[in-house]
Structure 1
Amino acid sequence: MQQATHENTDRTSEQDNHQEIIEALTMDLDNRQAEEADDAPHDFDDGIKSARFKKLQKKLRKEVSWAIRDFNMIEDGDVVMVCISGGKDSFTLLDILLFLKKIAPIHFDVVAVNLDQKQPGFPEEVLPKYLSEQGIAHYILEKDTYSIVKSVVPEGKTYCSACSRLRRGSLYGFAKQIGATKVALGHHRDDILATFFLNLFHGGSLKAMPPKLLSDDKQNILIRPLAYVAEKDIITYARYKNFPIIPCNLCGSQENLQRAMINDMLREWDQAHPKRLASMFKALQNVAPSQLADRELFDFESLATERDDELRLFEGDHIQVGVADELEQMGLPTAPAVQTFNPKFAQTAEKGAANKTNKIPVINPVLD
């Protein structure tokens, strides 16, 4: 018992220390950006002086910091392996993590890793050149997974699923090989929502991409620091930064039509209702198992009432009783009592002014 108490105390102390570190990081970020003049170039800005860019940059940095804080993504001493594909998402993720590493009150390292899968026409010089010019430590892994995918996927089918599985296997194994403690992926908020709807519409399950995940083999912890970031903000940010984007259409496969349709649906919703996607993502963080139907998550079988002796008479004018003999045989009342319909509300209505709207009373509220 004493050992368990010490363990609980140590765990609480570690959580408090982590919270202090993340709060310090966020505060340092606010102070640093408050001190920077709107028209003064500074680190990681590439000389961009646009006020709109700096506002967007601050927003993205904060959202990434909040995700790191909320899910305890990065801790002191971590080696974060950023999987960089050459797309806007992974470039943005790498850029922001390098900035946070510079101002964080904790020490963690960032290393970029790209897997060159030998797709025809892949500009293999782009990423090494960019990463070297930026002074970013990196590895370029070369592996001809393209030929493997071509050999196992039927003609005309999308290569994306098989390609991503092979890519993940290689990258996750390499993370363990070099001693990386976290594997950072560039999935953003809209990717998470799209995966949720794909599973809902086509997979028969309520699941998405979690911001933090232990791999199935328990060898790696995966983090998605862009979990709170909207795709449209990443698109704008990447344009400002002029990242050397490499398109993901080099293999010649068909686009994943189901995901493309979901993405189009989300973009239409976002244009028509700007707050809808944020509300949907919030729903992923506010799950009520008792209001769904998963018997593994909630014990519906054992539900039981806990009624007291206080009677709650029906508020109304009259109750009609039919086939009283049957009711009596069931042991139910044949003349249930009635009380006056909400007398307080009636009095308020009589005294109310002409333009005054009276609230409708809650007669039978739904109990949680």
Structure 2
Amino acid sequence: MTFSNNFHRLETRLQSQVGRAIGDFKMIEDGDTILVCLSGGKDSYTMLSVLMALQKRAPVDFKLIAMNLDQKQPGFPEEVLPNYLKKVGVEYVIVEADTYSIVKEKVPEGKTTCSLCSRLRRGVIYRTAKELGANKIALGHHRDDIVNTFFLNMFFGGKMKAMPPKLATDNGEHIVIRPLAYCAEKEIASYARAMEFPIIPCNLCGSQENLQRKKVKEMLLEWERQTPGRIDNIFASLQNVVPSHLADTDLFDFNGLTTGLAKIGEDALFGQTAYDQAPLVFAGSHDDRIEFVRFERKPGDKPADQALPGEVAAS
């Protein structure tokens, strides 16, 4: 298989992003055994491919075990994943659990099955990780999934909550990691096409995507078309939270605020400015006009609380 220079740049970028996420959140440590959950979709194939590449040159020693859950969906191509995993040379296990019948029995026709299906899969994954001695579980959620979930929870759940790049399982026995947390879906899709992964569509729930999730995804894509880079900025905001400028009394002690020298960033009382800028200082007046100019702080300037009227004050 021959690849272009553009592909190699894409591959390098994805590996760099995954490596940075691993480092930022301490996802992988020496001696880890990682259960890599493989659904047969573009995201999990990409995750496995990148982790295998990083494993070869990582400064720590860790083990990868690929896992696929055969949910006994009618027409599921049972040989596709085993053949692929043998070809790439990774240790793997195929777990058979008839969650399909349970979902079809419990969920009325036409209703979204994703929630129940997800809970059933989670239980099987936890049990398999324990049986194989894996202490980490890797899932293929990417940056766009994280941002999408953030807005879903905000719009329909009334809370600011996304998907964490790393968390402890419900039973506290394993750590779940999302190595693709910094990767954009469109780049993952491009990589998967170039690699010609044998994609397996989900006939159980993939064809009936949750309507709310679909609407949020369309909204984000439209925003990205209008203002490229917006999704990047939204994701960056999840890493740059200022509790004092929200309204959660569990995160910030509003009741304990007192007068005196401010210790937190001053609020933007006028207009919609929500980011730090250089302060404005009085420049002069003429008739009915008063002029202020932007001041860039220089060494030796007086702090704002010490400056006299008309003097230059630093923020």
Give the TM-score of the pair, scaled to structure 2: 0.83
Among 258, 265, 278, which residue is 2:212 paired with?
A: 258
On the 8 A contact 1:156/1:253 being kept in 2, the answer is no
Who is 2:293 aligned against? 359
Letter in 1 for 2:175: I
- Distance in 2 separating the partners of 1:51 and 1:360: 45
- Distance in 1 separating the partners of 2:118 and 2:140: 13
- Distance in 1 separating the partners of 2:31 and 2:184: 29
> How many angstroms does 1:132 deviate by?
1.1
Partner SS, residue 73 of structure 2? coil
> How many angstroms does 1:300 deviate by?
1.3
> How many angstroms does 1:155 deviate by?
2.2
**Residue deviations 1:133-178 (CA, integer Å, cap 9, x gap):** 2211100000100111111112221111100110011001110111
Letter in 2 for 1:92: T
Who is 2:43 aligned against? 89
Who is 2:186 aligned against? 232
Who is 1:50 aligned against? 4
**Residue deviations 1:263-302 (CA, integer Å, cap 9, x gap):** 1111122222111000000000001111111111111112
**Residue deviations 1:202-223 (CA, integer Å, cap 9, x gap):** 0111000000001121111000
> How many angstroms does 1:193 deviate by?
0.4
Structure 2 matches for 1:239-318, cutoff 5 A? 239-250=193-204, 254-306=208-260
Which has the larger helix fraction? 1
Partner SS, residue 260 of structure 1? helix
On the 8 A contact 1:175/1:181 being kept in 2, the answer is yes
> How many angstroms does 1:359 deviate by?
1.7
On the 8 A contact 2:112/2:205 being kept in 1, the answer is no
Among 205, 210, 215, which residue is 2:164 paired with?
A: 210
Go from structure 1 to structure 2 and tell me whether the alpha carbon gap of 1:252 and 1:113 turns closer, same or farther (over 3 Å shift).
closer
Find out whether 1:139 has 2:73 as its counterpart. Answer: no
Go from structure 1 to structure 2 and tell me whether the alpha carbon gap of 1:345 and 1:221 turns closer, same or farther (over 3 Å shift).
same
Among 157, 163, 166, which residue is 2:120 paired with?
A: 166
Go from structure 1 to structure 2 and tell me whether the alpha carbon gap of 1:285 and 1:252 turns closer, same or farther (over 3 Å shift).
closer
Divergent runs of 4+, >3 A: 250-253, 360-363
Find out whether 1:99 has 2:37 as its counterpart. Answer: no
Letter in 2 for 1:49: F
Q: Which has the larger radius of gyration?
A: 1
Who is 2:283 aligned against? 345
Partner SS, residue 293 of structure 2? coil
On the 8 A contact 1:119/1:251 being kept in 2, the answer is no
Partner SS, residue 139 of structure 1? strand
Partner SS, residue 167 of structure 2? strand
Letter in 2 for 1:113: M
On the 8 A contact 2:168/2:174 being kept in 1, the answer is yes
Number of equivalenced pairs: 278
Structure 2: state its 5+ residue gaps: 263-279, 296-303, 310-314
Structure 1: state its 5+ residue gaps: 1-46, 309-341, 350-356
Which has the larger strand fraction? 2
**Residue deviations 1:37-63 (CA, integer Å, cap 9, x gap):** xxxxxxxxxx33301100100000000
- Distance in 1 separating the partners of 2:200 and 2:192: 12
Identity value in percent = 57
Find out whether 1:176 has 2:130 as its counterpart. Answer: yes
Letter in 2 for 1:286: N
On the 8 A contact 1:120/1:251 being kept in 2, the answer is no
On the 8 A contact 1:185/1:222 being kept in 2, the answer is yes
Go from structure 1 to structure 2 and tell me whether the alpha carbon gap of 1:80 and 1:359 turns closer, same or farther (over 3 Å shift).
same
- Distance in 2 separating the partners of 1:124 and 1:226: 26
What value does the CA root-mean-square deviation take over the aligned residues? 2.4
Give the TM-score of the pair, scaled to structure 1: 0.71
Who is 2:269 aligned against? none
Who is 1:151 aligned against? 105
Letter in 2 for 1:83: C
Letter in 2 for 1:84: L
- Distance in 2 separating the partners of 1:304 and 1:252: 53
Who is 2:73 aligned against? 119
> How many angstroms does 1:106 deviate by?
1.2
